[in-house]
Amino acid sequence: MKKYLVRRAVYAAVTLLGVSISIFVILRVLPGDPLVAILGVEGHARMMPADRARIMADLGLSDPLPLQYVRWMRDIAAGQLGKSFFRGDTVAEMIQHRGPISAEIAVLCLMISWLAGLPVGILSAFKPNSVPDGLARAMSVLFIAIPGFWLGMLIVLALLFWFGYKSPITIVQLWQNPWQNLQIVLGPGIVLGLAQAAYIARMSRSCLLEVIGEDFVRTARAKGLKEGLVVLRHALPNALLPVITISGVLLGFVLGGSVAVEQAFGVPGLGRALVTAVIERDIVVVQNLVLLYAVIFIGVNVLVDLSYAWLDPRIRFS
Amino acid sequence: MSTVTAAQPPLASVRRESLLRAVAIELARFSRRNTLAAIGGFVGLLIIVVALAAPLLAPRDPLKADFRRMNKPPDAQNLLGTDQVGRDTLSRVIYGARTSLFVAFSAVILGTTVGSLWGVACGYLRGRFDLVSQRIMEILQAFPDLILAMAISMAIGTGLSAVIFAIAITRIPFGGRVIRSVALSVREMPYVEAGRASGGSALRIMALHVLPQCIAPYLVLATTHLGVAIVIEAALGFLGVGVPPPTPTWGNMLADSITALVPPWWLAFFPGLAITVTVLAFNLLGDGIRDTLDPRLSPAFLRMMAGGRRG
């Protein structure tokens, strides 16, 4: 078990290093000159070469690439995430203000996906090919196909048309005004959660069906256990492992999808900050936010692996 | 089955005819078993035809603004209404299918093919090459799809080819992972060993013995990822970092629609409906192909595993 943990941690560290290097490389091969983005095409053309060199040096963009990379890593270690080219607010502030909102959306999405997906999957597996099962499967196929940002747009539009309602567009934290905060995060949480619920329902159904065919389930039935107990006590714990894995992998969809869904709902979260930064070619913001998203994704997958090891005695005791 | 094996006369023309018949029979059997997948395939094909025949089918020029008819709801003249500068929504949705499908198909074929070839090499060669490759794929998979695509398309510009390239890169690790595991199991087969024993080079064995075994999983992968690619392309367009306007793509149209203070419902509804129907069609087809080619995952098999009384 200890060996497994150490190996997992080393792999995660190597991946993290590779991720940071690749972000750095991807963003530095950028053909566009960041100064054009800052000063505009005309301002850039009017600039003296000497000024240009000075500004580049001020921004730390004229140093050799390896040095720039090392400096970036050093800054991160010191908690200095740099500043937006355009807005003057630091990336750290951005994460502080907008991060909680995006995090709430992710947590809400996770809760909805399990609370809605797992019961539906279990009911489906109870009576495969019955009417409720067919209905559940049709719903999951549909929710997997509908793009979250479109569903989000439609919800926003419908609320606007029929109720004249618009959710708050400024940042309101949970501890400031829970009611307003909930209005911000509820929509994106539900839209993202439903799509994940569809995957979880599908996965738990097929895993349960597979486990139900195993010998120990037959034994449980043979000793006269009620069907409900057979499924919930014997089959379900064994079927859950792959569902947990899927839930971790799906977080990648949630993190990526939340960027578009936040845009659709007009939620002032981290995802929208990233989109704005990408459009403005604000390298410092983009590189730090993309790294943050990757770190979260890697972290969650490590957690999933650990929970896997913890839940599966075969791994725990090896 | 018997008709396929029995009909093998020597004449080439007859053989071609029987091949066609065999294909037709296979298709008929496939659709009987996977009705939903067949419907998905049919709708998908229809959308592809619409995309190819866009100039013939679109009632108007998708780029032509008409300032006398701006923001009109659907009526007899513009079946799906017009946008803020009076362009015909129906024509733009039809032309949008072109861009969206072209990007999705190219990206999936490019990404899955590169990933699969890489996976074959990893699984067959093993050793240090495999170890390093696995780490690289892990790194690629450590990014959420859409965010990686956004970063790449930001770095290399926002043209059509940049978007294709960006989406293709996000598809590489999926092909790599799945095909690698296939190659790992195939390399232990006696016929591969026989190939090695008779002096075949690694390249030859990979091409002649390992690669053919990967075709089925490749097809499954490619169809399953088509839907994902379409959604990523649309999301990139929606976020304003995809194929640049005025090229009509479904994502761009959705992005256009929310610039208005009160977005007209038809501008928000129809492009998204087109995305959903297309993704649904390809997903259903992909599920059907997977069930047919990979029996381990088919509902029929799971039902069998679940015992007769639950069937």
8 Å CB contact of B238 and A149: yes
pLDDT value at A280 more than 70: yes
More confident residue, A51 or A109: A109
Q: What percent of chain A has pLDDT over 70?
A: 88
Task: Give the mean model confidence (pLDDT) for residues B98-127.
Answer: 92
Lowest mean pLDDT among A26-40, A58-72, B208-222, B290-304: B290-304
> Are the CB atoms for B202 and B111 separated by under 8 Å?
no
When mean pLDDT is compared over A244-253, B77-86, B132-141, B149-158, the highest value belongs to B132-141
pLDDT at A30: 62
Cα distances (Å, whole numbers) of residue A65 to A19, A55, A59, B146, B273: 16, 17, 13, 26, 46
Residues of chain A contacting B231 with CB distance shorter than 8 Å: 147
pLDDT at A76: 83
Task: Give the mean model confidence (pLDDT) for residues B154-183.
Answer: 86
Task: Give the mean model confidence (pLDDT) for residues B105-134.
Answer: 91
Q: Which of B124, B273, B93 is nearest to B200 (CA)?
A: B124
Task: Give the mean model confidence (pLDDT) for residues A267-296.
Answer: 86
pLDDT value at A128 more than 80: no
Residues of chain A contacting B265 with CB distance shorter than 8 Å: 157, 161
Lowest mean pLDDT among B151-160, B170-179, B232-241: B151-160
pLDDT at B304: 42
pLDDT at B203: 86
pLDDT at B297: 47
Lowest mean pLDDT among A95-109, B38-52, B248-262: B248-262
pLDDT at B231: 92
Task: Give the mean model confidence (pLDDT) for residues B216-233.
Answer: 88
Cα distances (Å, whole numbers) of residue A49 to A44, A52, A283: 10, 5, 22
pLDDT at A36: 61
- What lies within 8 Å, CB to CB, of B81 at 6+ separation is B71, B72, B73, B74, B75, B89, B264, B266, B267
The model's pLDDT over B50-86, given as tens digits with 9 standing for 90+, comes to: 888 878 877 777 777 676 767 777 776 766 677 777 6
Residues of chain B contacting A157 with CB distance shorter than 8 Å: 263, 265, 268
B residues 142-201 near A, CB within 8 Å? Answer: 142-147, 150-152, 154-157
Nearest to B143 among A147, A279, A294 (CB): A294
User: How crowded is the C-beta side of A221, counted as CA atoms within 13 Å?
Assistant: 14
Residues of chain A contacting B258 with CB distance shorter than 8 Å: 153, 264
Task: Give the mean model confidence (pLDDT) for residues A115-120.
Answer: 91
Q: In degrees rounded to 5, what are phi and psi of residue B159?
A: -80, 180
8 Å CB contact of A153 and B150: no
Q: Which residue of A has its CA nearest to B230?
A: A147
**Cα angle A251-A139-A118, degrees, rounded to a multiple of 5:** 55
More confident residue, B58 or A12: A12
Structure tokens that stand for A66 in this block:
């390896």
Lowest mean pLDDT among A30-39, A197-206, B244-253: A30-39
The burial of A16, by beta-carbon neighbours within 10 Å (0-12 exposed, 13-18 middle, 19 or more buried), is given as middle
Grade residue B13 by pLDDT with cuts at 50, 70 and 90.
low
User: What is the helix, strand, coil percentage profile of chain B, to 5?
Assistant: 75, 0, 25
Grade residue B288 by pLDDT with cuts at 50, 70 and 90.
confident
When mean pLDDT is compared over A17-21, A162-166, A213-217, the highest value belongs to A17-21
The residue with tokens 């296979």 is: B26
Q: In degrees rounded to 5, what are phi and psi of residue B82?
A: -130, 165
pLDDT value at B309 more than 70: no
Task: Give the mean model confidence (pLDDT) for residues A257-280.
Answer: 87
Backbone Cα Rg of chain A: 24
Q: What is the ipTM of this complex?
A: 0.85
pLDDT value at B167 more than 50: yes
State the Cα–Cα distance between residues A286 and A267, nearest whole angstrom.
18
8 Å CB contact of B151 and A154: no
Structure tokens that stand for A137 in this block:
């499967």
8 Å CB contact of A252 and B144: yes
8 Å CB contact of B147 and A27: no
pLDDT at B117: 92
State the Cα–Cα distance between residues A265 and A148, nearest whole angstrom.
10
Helix A236-265 vs helix B215-239: crossing angle, to nearest 10: 30
Nearest CA of chain B to the CA of A234: how many Å?
14
Three-state secondary structure along A243-306?
A: HHHHHHHHHHHHHHHHHHHHHHHCCCCHHHHHHHHHHHCCHHHHHHHHHHHHHHHHHHHHHHHH
User: Average pLDDT over chain A, rounded to whole?
Assistant: 82
Task: Give the mean model confidence (pLDDT) for residues A69-73.
Answer: 84
Residues of chain B contacting A149 with CB distance shorter than 8 Å: 235, 238, 254
pLDDT at B115: 93
Q: Which residue of B has its CA nearest to A208?
A: B306
Q: Which residue of B has its CA nearest to A275?
A: B239
pLDDT value at B118 more than 90: yes
Nearest to B138 among A15, A23, A31 (CB): A15
The model's pLDDT over B294-307, given as tens digits with 9 standing for 90+, comes to: 655 444 444 444 33
Nearest CA of chain B to the CA of A78: how many Å?
24
Total residues found in chain B within this entry: 311
pLDDT value at B165 more than 70: yes
pLDDT at B311: 28
pLDDT value at B103 more than 90: yes
More confident residue, A55 or B25: B25
Residues of chain B contacting A22 with CB distance shorter than 8 Å: 139
B residues 238-297 near A, CB within 8 Å? Answer: 238-241, 254, 257-258, 262-263, 265, 268-269, 272, 275-276, 279-280, 283-284, 287, 297
Is cis: bond before B246, omega within 30 of 0?
A: yes
B305 lies within 8 A of chain A by CB? yes
More confident residue, B242 or B233: B233
User: How crowded is the C-beta side of B189, counted as CA atoms within 13 Å?
Assistant: 15
pLDDT value at A44 more than 80: no
Nearest CA of chain A to the CA of B231: how many Å?
6
pLDDT at A317: 64
Residues of chain A contacting B135 with CB distance shorter than 8 Å: 14-15, 18
CB pairs < 8 Å spanning A and B: 162
pLDDT at A318: 59
In the three-class reduction of DSSP (H, G, I as helix; E, B as strand; rest coil), residue A69 is classed as: helix
What type of residue is A32? G
User: DSSP letters of A96-121?
Assistant: HHHHHHHHHHHHHHHHHHHHHHHHHH
Task: Give the mean model confidence (pLDDT) for residues B80-107.
Answer: 85
Task: Give the mean model confidence (pLDDT) for residues A97-118.
Answer: 89
> Are the CB atoms for A123 and A136 separated by under 8 Å?
yes
More confident residue, B266 or A171: B266
The residue with tokens 């793509």 is: B249
Helix A270-280 vs helix A236-265: crossing angle, to nearest 10: 50
